[in-house]
Amino acid sequence: MNAITFSPFYRSRSSFDRFASLFDGNMTEDSYGEKLPQYNIQALTDDRYQITLAVAGFKEEQLSIEVSNGVLFVKGSKLDADDENYLHRGINHYGFERKFNLADHIEVTGADLSDGLLTIKLVKEVPEALKPKIIQINQNKNLLNHEK
């Protein structure tokens, strides 16, 4: 399996900060070595993002989303269906846990489950005290004489 690097995002989009370095925890792998459930991360604007996870077959009450110490946990708990006579069982019937390390000042604002996709909305809210300040250059020549 090839290593994935997000370092080009650091150079091209300053608003991504550490957001591009979201890491996965321990999860189930599919037959191609992919971690389950698969997901997308989108930058909607410079300060709004969303994570979409493919959670087909999971109901709302079987999913949980939690943020603790800058880490977003998404868990799916599925009771094992009656052991029927499956000839092939390719649809995920196990629970899962995905975890994402969130960048500084990233807040989860909501979630939606539709058509087997769990969409988690995120926003970057930098406190006013931490935002850059523009300092105007005073062109008044009388500053040395302490005159107004």
CATH code, 134: 2.60.40.790
20 neighbors 10 (Cβ within 8 angstroms)? yes
What is the pTM assigned to this prediction? Answer: 0.65
Domain count for the chain: 1
So what's the pLDDT on residue 50? 96
Residue 122, SS3? Answer: strand
Please indicate, yes or no, if residue 32 is contained in any of the structural domains: yes
User: What is the extent of the structural domain holding 28?
Assistant: 7-145
Which is it for the CA torsion 54, 56, 60, 66, positive or negative?
A: negative
Residues of the chain predicted below pLDDT 50 = 1-2, 4-17, 21-28, 30-32
Please indicate, yes or no, if residue 2 is contained in any of the structural domains: no
